[in-house]
Amino acid sequence: MDRTEPYYAVIFTSGRTEGDKGYADMARSMERLAKEQPGFLGMESARETIGITVSYWESMQAIAHWKQQTDHLLAQKKGIADWYSWYKVRVCLVERSYAFEK
Amino acid sequence: MDRTEPYYAVIFTSGRTEGDKGYADMARSMERLAKEQPGFLGMESARETIGITVSYWESMQAIAHWKQQTDHLLAQKKGIADWYSWYKVRVCLVERSYAFEK
């Protein structure tokens, strides 16, 4: 994801409940859907004890639009009911970045 | 990590090279050291295909201070030499957050 600052990052940290209950399918489907949204720039994920997903967006408007997307709203509801024991969402302005590559 | 916005987040994403080469020891030691720094608020990590570590700070000054901390500088050098195939650091202003807990 190469993009000049400023842009936005949404840091989604979470704890999962026991069992899959359709979680893996939903996660793949939400990633596909996010990529189709206006203003989407990229997404990175890892899960060990906790899960961290960071998605990157052109603007606050793009983030607000994605939050209200119909299928995503359904996933948010099911997330609270079935998949997560907790989560936290942080909306951030990316002010600067630097990178290293071998 | 409960803290009212605004505060800062440093998103560190990385790819590892093969083998441990002292990486796990360093990671634990850097986490201990970060916690002792002025302005440190919290840290969250997960690694699967890529690693994501997010650390939280009171101010840009606290982040600059941590970046220049002597042992941390050594770890950064060794990180480039031995541990990482790539990394990216993003410095972000956390503007708002919301949470869910069962």
Give dist(CA B95, CA B102) in Å, integer: 24
- What pairs with residue A27 in β-bridges? none
Q: Which helix (H) or strand (E) is A75 found in, with range?
A: helix A70-78
A20-59: per-residue pLDDT in tens? Answer: 999 999 999 999 999 999 999 999 999 999 999 999 999 9
Please list every residue in chain B whose beta carbon sits closer than 8 Å to the beta carbon of residue A52. 44-46, 52, 54
Q: Residue range B54-83: average pLDDT?
A: 92
Quick check: B25 and B76 in contact, CB under 8 A? Answer: no
- Does A50 sit within 8 Å of B44, measured CB to CB? yes
Residues 6 or more apart whose Cβ sits within 8 Å of residue B1 = B41, B42, B44, B56
- Does B54 sit within 8 Å of A45, measured CB to CB? no
Q: Which two tokens stand for residue B37?
A: 């720094």
Give dist(CA B9, CA B31) in Å, integer: 15
A15-24: per-residue pLDDT in tens? Answer: 999 999 999 9
Quick check: B11 and A11 in contact, CB under 8 A? Answer: yes
User: Nearest 5°: phi and psi at A77?
Assistant: -65, -45
Question: Measured in whole angstroms, how far is the alpha carbon of residue A79 from the centre of its chain?
Answer: 13
Share of chain B above pLDDT 70, in %: 100
* Predicted structure pTM score: 0.93
- Does A99 sit within 8 Å of B88, measured CB to CB? yes
Cβ of residue B73 closer than 8 Å to a chain A Cβ: no
